[in-house]
Amino acid sequence: MSHTATDNRGIDDTVTSHRATNPAGTNRTIFSGIQPTGRLTLGNYLGALGRFVDLQHAARCVFCVVDLHALTVEHDPRRLHQLTRETATIYLAAGLDPAVCVLTRQSDVSAHTELMYLLESTAYVGELNRMIQFKEKGRGRPRTRVSLYTYPVLMAADILLYGGTEVPVGDDQRQHVELARDLAIRFNREYGRTFVVPEMSPATVGARVMDLQNPTAKMSKDAPADSLGSIRLLDPPEVIVRKVSRAVTDTSPDVGYDPENRPGVSNLLEILAGCTGESDPAALAGKYDGYAALKRDTADAVVGVLEPLQNRYAELAADPAHVDATLRLGAERARELAAPTLAAARTAIGL
Ligand code: AQP
């Protein structure tokens, strides 16, 4: 992906002008989002949210609760509304500061869907047919929504609208970020340089946190509410301890890091590393001669990360009007940031 600098050379001034307001004074712009499709998990935190918090001072950042994406699967409107607010509250509780980054709700900024259409007129059906998430969640099922098929294009619009140079997401989103890159490059080539070509920015640790009960599957917010495999960010400490202590490992007596052959224990080491700021999960393996101590330390580390978030969440959730007002303000700033790129894209494509 080292060719991005070249891809972006000569980008139209209109597109880059709002970078002047970048608080960090760099050319980095970071965009990412989380879908309010369920209760957020430790996977969402280690793969995405925790990194948003770390990155917010390093670049201009736009973080979105991507509620339109949540319409791609069967949903209950009331629950969607609640989960959108809950997700936004968790963003704040995790430490995102609306004075530093732009915090918004996707559906409040209509430029996302408008740009999506321009990009749909750039994307090929064959590209969308290859999207793994669509193949896994929708293809061949009778009630699959059209929006599930086209959602990677909306995600591309989300990113390109803000001139995102980096997209911090978990490993499962790699193919979608690649599509955003391809569409940006194609649009620029066919209609003149308009978009910044983004780069995927995966987590070094915790890019793919696995289910504790089925460590060959990703930890997901789709898991049933009573699942022991998914740690929710708002799970009480005793529930977290129970889930970690019951995590599936393997029959080998020693602790070793080998994600392919020993996914359960490797996942625990990955979680422990992610929650303690350790960069090398394999190096942690040598500190343990049994699973009991590893599970105890992993549970303690997860609780250590999530307890402050939960305390802050409780305070913020008591004042939902404040959260709503924060999102409204974020939407105003997001609209301002998005407008020049959308205008440039409209002009370039001939509208
Ligand atoms: N298990 C995970 N490990 C690391 N990162 C993860 N992410 C999700 N699960 C993990 C990252 O979190 C961000 C937001 O995810 P999303 O809302 O786009 O939803 P998703 O990737 O579809 O994950 P879900 O909803 O938990 O599960 P499924 O796929 O079953 O619907 C993204 O950056 C994602 O990579």
- Nearest atom in ligand 1 to the alpha carbon of residue 47 is 5
Task: Take atom 19 of ligand 1 and give the residue whose Cα is closest.
Answer: 35
CATH 1.10.240.10 residue window(s) in the chain:
237-317
Which of 173, 177, 231 most suits a substitution to test ligand 1, by most atoms within 8 Å of the C-beta?
173
Beta bridge partners of 199: 166
Phi, psi of 178 (to 5 degrees): -60, -40
Q: How many angstroms separate the CA atoms of 206 and 46, rounded? A: 5
Question: What are 165's two structure tokens?
Answer: 């140079």
How do residues 59-72 score in pLDDT, each as one tens digit? Answer: 999 999 999 999 99
User: What is the structure's pLDDT at 22?
Assistant: 56
- The per-residue pLDDT for 88 is 98
**How far, in Å, from the CA of 190 to the mean position of ligand 1?**
33
CB 157 within 8 A of CB 202: no
pLDDT in tens, 153-177: 999 999 999 999 999 998 999 999 9
Q: How many CB atoms lie within 10 A of CB 185?
A: 15
Q: Residue 36 CA: which ligand 1 atom is closest?
A: 17
Tens of pLDDT, residues 75-125 = 999 999 999 999 999 999 999 999 999 999 999 999 999 999 999 999 999
Looking at the CA of residue 211, tell me the nearest atom of ligand 1.
1
Residue spans in the chain of domains classed CATH 3.40.50.620? 5-206+319-349
* E strand segments, the chain: 29-34, 60-65, 102-105, 166-167, 199-200
Q: What is the dihedral of CA 118, 124, 127, 133, to 10 degrees?
A: 50
Ligand 1 mean position, distance from CA 222 (Å): 9
Closest ligand 1 atom number to CA of residue 206? 4
CA of 6 to the centre of ligand 1 (A): 30
From the CB of residue 277, how many other CB atoms can be counted at a distance below 10 Å? 10
- Residue 211's closest CA among 166, 271, 251? 271
- Residue by residue, pLDDT tens for the chain (351 residues) are 333 333 443 343 333 333 335 554 568 999 999 999 999 999 999 999 999 999 999 999 999 999 999 999 999 999 999 999 999 999 999 999 999 999 999 999 999 999 999 999 999 999 999 999 898 888 888 899 999 999 999 999 999 999 999 999 989 999 999 999 999 999 999 999 999 999 999 889 989 999 999 999 999 999 999 999 999 999 999 999 999 999 999 989 899 999 999 999 999 999 999 999 999 999 999 999 999 999 999 999 999 999 999 999 999 999 999 999 999 999 999 999 999 999 999 999 999
Third-level CATH fold of 237-317: Tyrosyl-Transfer RNA Synthetase (1.10.240)
How far away, in angstroms, is 311 Cα from ligand 1 center? 24
Residue 266 corresponds to which tokens in the numbers above? 């490797």
What is the Å distance from ligand 1's center to 77 Cα? 21
3-state secondary structure of 200: strand
Residues involved in catalysis = 137, 218, 221
Domain 5-206+319-349: assigned CATH number: 3.40.50.620
Pocket test of ligand 1: the residue of 134, 172, 230 to mutate, having most ligand atoms within 8 Å of its CB, is 172
Atom of ligand 1 nearest to the CA of 37: 25
Ligand 1 binding pocket, CB closer than 6 Å: 34-35, 37-38, 41, 43-44, 46-48, 169-170, 172-173, 206-209, 218-222
> Distance from the CA of 122 to the center of ligand 1, in angstroms?
26
Contacts 24+ apart (CB under 8 A), 126-129: 127/179, 127/182, 128/152, 128/153
